[in-house]
Amino acid sequence: MSNVIHASNLTLTYGKRGKEVIKDANFSIKKGEFVFITGPSGSGKSTLLKALYGKLKPAEGNLVVGGQDLSNIRQGKLQELRTHMGIIFQDYKLINEWTVKKNVVLPLMIAGYPTEIQETQAHRLLKHVKLAEHADRYPLELSGGEQQRVGVARALSKNPVVILADEPTGNLDDYSSNVIWDLMENACQQLDTTILVVTHKIPTIFSLPYRHFIIESKGVYEVH
Amino acid sequence: MKFIKNHLMFIFPLMAILLGIEFYLVFERTTNSYEKGLKEGYSMLVVTKEPMELSNFQTLNSHISSAEKIEREGIVTEVVKGVSKSSSEKILAALPYFYNLGLDEYLHTSGLNEIQKDLEADKNIKKVETFGTTYHSNYRLFSFIKFILKVFIVFMAVVSLFLIIKQMEIWKYAHKERMQVMEIFGAPLMLRSGVLFRMAFIDAILATMLVSGIFFYIKLHWAAQSGIDILMQNQEALFKFSDIAILFGSAILIVIIAVYSVVFSSKGVQE
């Protein structure tokens, strides 16, 4: 299987002073893998995630995502790459003045899909995340768990190559968290989507032997 | 209500700038014709011993564009009433030659003095009267009014620009989150700023229409009944169709600058 993500001698710095948070990291993630990245607070988990969607440029080394080297990528290419990614945030990052349905089809809208396809896909995905009846409501009218399900539906809407999730259940109760993990696991198994989850703790719900990396002392190590 | 307020907060300062631009255009047009009249109405008086041609004057100074001879007979007729014919012929023979000289452009005092100096250097020229004081006091008053109006327009534009910047801050706050989310998912600049552009373009059209409407009203109704000479004489100059293009162009330019500054300052994802 081909690598969807590949880091070699990756060094990431953060802030105006260029504080080094990850140094000389080497790792690869293949297509269809479900991967956890854990580590203590301030270890650089979110910084790594930002680098993976091109928000942060590597200070040194290479970081290749979906065949594109993010250490040296043009804005146009980065925008195109992002249309093949699904991103889930702890604070959901939904557009509050848009309806749930419109939020879900945002990636399709950006890719220029016709309205009919957007409608069909929105209906299918909202049914999948059990929010079909909330399609025309606004995010702030929903609970945290429901908002995150909208976030998952949005991440899945364009069948992305990779889904990056930053503490996706950080603000949710156990029940809502389990629903989110189920949805993500299904996406990985049924759609062969690579899923990379940054979290401070691996949920106990997972029984399958998924790969697990830990960030510690600026290094990224695989836990066996 | 919030939607209307958001639009008005942008339309009003934009209108103030457009009003400033239109005032400037109208004032330039009306004053240009007045200025032209001032220049055309000006001439200097030259007294010569012997008759001279325009070319003679032009060799002395190139700014002289016309030379109109004042008929001596006309002057003598007034003087010689009750005087014998032979005496009047003697007076006519003794009388010098008078010319009104026109200039090719408006010149300041130093220019007029230079012409006077050049003309007086010719032995055939007895006297040169430039009427500089009257001419300049008129023109200085006119220039002062023009300057004051321009300062007022610039001041109004600066204040309006600050209001637009303030409104842009509000826009930035209102649209930042949406634009950031769209950027994360790979939306190009035009797509993520599309709402802002649409909103701002509508405001630009509305502001242009309102300002054009105000000046149309002034031109067609108010000016004709105002009783103000300069407005009544220059009614046509008060508003031209080409002004709509200038106003709309200016409004669009302001809108593009405003929107781009919001878009570029909203780049990046919040922690």
Nearest CB to B185 within list A83, A96, A98: A83
Which residues of chain B lie closer than 8 angstroms to A50, CB-CB?
Answer: 269
Name the domain count of chain B: 2
Q: Please say if the pLDDT value at position B271 is more than 50.
A: no
Q: What is the mean pLDDT of chain B?
A: 83
Q: Please say if the pLDDT value at position A1 is more than 70.
A: no
Note whether B99 and B52 are same-domain residues.
yes
A78 vs B178: CB contact, 8 Å cut-off?
no
Summarize the confidence of residues A118-145 as an average pLDDT.
93
Cβ neighbours of B229 (radius 10 Å): 8
Query: Residue A26 — very low, low, confident or very high, per pLDDT cuts 50/70/90?
Result: very high
Tell me, yes or no, if B2 comes closer than 8 A to chain A by beta carbon.
no
Q: Please say if the pLDDT value at position B120 is more than 60.
A: yes
Which residues of chain B lie closer than 8 angstroms to A46, CB-CB?
Answer: 271
Note whether B114 and B207 are same-domain residues.
no
Minimal CA separation from B35 to chain A, in Å: 55
Place of tokens 């993990």: A181
Nearest CB to B177 within list A82, A95, A106: A95
Note whether B218 and B124 are same-domain residues.
no
Note whether B13 and B79 are same-domain residues.
no
Minimal CA separation from A208 to chain B, in Å: 30
Q: What is the mean pLDDT of chain A?
A: 90
pLDDT in tens, B16-70: 899 989 988 888 887 777 767 777 777 889 999 899 999 999 999 998 888 998 8
What span, in angstroms and rounded, lies between the C-alpha atoms of A55 and B268? Answer: 7
Q: Measured over all CA atoms, what is the biggest interatomic distance in chain A, rounded to whole angstroms?
A: 50
Q: Where in chain A is the domain with CATH 3.40.50.300?
A: 3-84+161-223
Note whether B30 and B49 are same-domain residues.
no
Reported pTM: 0.69
A110 vs B185: CB contact, 8 Å cut-off?
yes
- Show which of residues 193-252 on chain B sit within 8 Å of chain A, judged by CB atoms: none
Cβ neighbours of B67 (radius 10 Å): 18
Summarize the confidence of residues A63-74 as an average pLDDT.
92
At A179 the pLDDT is 85
- Say which CATH number the domain at B90 has: 3.30.70
pLDDT in tens, B80-106: 777 777 777 888 788 889 999 888 877
Name the residue of chain B whose CA is nearest to A156's CA. Answer: B185
In this predicted structure, which of A35-44, B106-115, B195-204 has the lowest mean pLDDT? B106-115
pLDDT in tens, A151-177: 999 999 998 999 999 999 888 888 888
At A205 the pLDDT is 64
Answer yes or no: are the C-beta atoms of A157 and A148 closer than 8 Å: no
Q: Which two tokens stand for residue B237?
A: 């100059």
At B167 the pLDDT is 81
Answer yes or no: are the C-beta atoms of B26 and B237 closer than 8 Å: yes
Note whether B31 and B53 are same-domain residues.
no
pLDDT in tens, B238-256: 888 899 999 999 999 998 8
Q: What percent of chain A has pLDDT over 70?
A: 97
Note whether B166 and B252 are same-domain residues.
yes
Cβ neighbours of A28 (radius 10 Å): 14
Name the residue of chain A whose CA is nearest to B192's CA. Answer: A110
Q: What is the ipTM of this complex?
A: 0.88
Note whether B33 and B153 are same-domain residues.
yes
Is B259 a member of any domain?
Answer: yes
B185 vs A55: CB contact, 8 Å cut-off?
no
pLDDT in tens, B155-167: 888 888 888 888 8
Q: In this structure, are strands A162-166 and A194-198 parallel, antiparallel, or unpaired?
A: parallel
Minimal CA separation from A98 to chain B, in Å: 9
pLDDT in tens, A6-16: 999 999 998 88
Q: What percent of chain B has pLDDT over 90?
A: 18
B181 vs A93: CB contact, 8 Å cut-off?
yes
Q: Which residues of A touch B (CB under 8 A)?
A: 46, 50, 53, 55, 78-83, 85, 87, 93-98, 106-107, 110
Q: Please say if the pLDDT value at position A214 is more than 70.
A: yes
Is B137 a member of any domain?
Answer: no
| H or E, element range at A1 | none
Q: Please say if the pLDDT value at position B268 is more than 60.
A: no
Note whether B244 and B116 are same-domain residues.
no
Is B144 a member of any domain?
Answer: no
Minimal CA separation from A81 to chain B, in Å: 7
Tell me, yes or no, if B181 comes closer than 8 A to chain A by beta carbon.
yes
Cβ neighbours of A153 (radius 10 Å): 26
Nearest CB to B178 within list A46, A85, A97: A97
A55 vs B184: CB contact, 8 Å cut-off?
yes
pLDDT in tens, A136-156: 999 999 999 999 999 999 999
Tell me, yes or no, if B267 comes closer than 8 A to chain A by beta carbon.
no
Which residues of chain B lie closer than 8 angstroms to A107, CB-CB?
Answer: 185-186
Last residue of a domain, one of B97, B130, B163: B130
Note whether B32 and B55 are same-domain residues.
no
Which residues of chain A lie closer than 8 angstroms to B177, CB-CB?
Answer: 93, 95-96
Exposure string of A191-223, with b = 16+ CB inside 10 Å and e = fewer, is: eebbbbbbbeeeeeeeeeeebbbbbeeeebeee
Which residues of chain A lie closer than 8 angstroms to B185, CB-CB?
Answer: 82-83, 85, 87, 106-107, 110
Residue B266 or residue A72, greater confidence: A72
A79 vs B187: CB contact, 8 Å cut-off?
yes
Name the residue of chain A whose CA is nearest to B176's CA. Answer: A95
Summarize the confidence of residues B224-229 as an average pLDDT.
77
Summarize the confidence of residues A118-138 as an average pLDDT.
92
Name the residue of chain A whose CA is nearest to B269's CA. Answer: A55
| DSSP assignment of A149-170 | HHHHHHHHTT--SEEEEESTTT
SS3 A147: helix
Mutant choice from A14, A19, A82, A159 vs B, greatest count of B C-beta within 10 A: A82
Query: Residue B266 — very low, low, confident or very high, per pLDDT cuts 50/70/90?
Result: low
Is B138 a member of any domain?
Answer: no
B185 vs A106: CB contact, 8 Å cut-off?
yes
Residue B138 or residue A87, greater confidence: A87
Q: Please say if the pLDDT value at position A36 is more than 50.
A: yes
The residue segments making up the domain with residue B220 are 2-37+149-265
- Candidates 3.20.190.10, 3.40.50.300, 3.50.50.60, 3.90.1150.10; CATH matching A3-84+161-223: 3.40.50.300
First to last CA, chain A: 20
Minimal CA separation from A9 to chain B, in Å: 25
Note whether B93 and B217 are same-domain residues.
no
At B91 the pLDDT is 80
Note whether B182 and B103 are same-domain residues.
no
Which residues of chain A lie closer than 8 angstroms to B188, CB-CB?
Answer: 79, 110
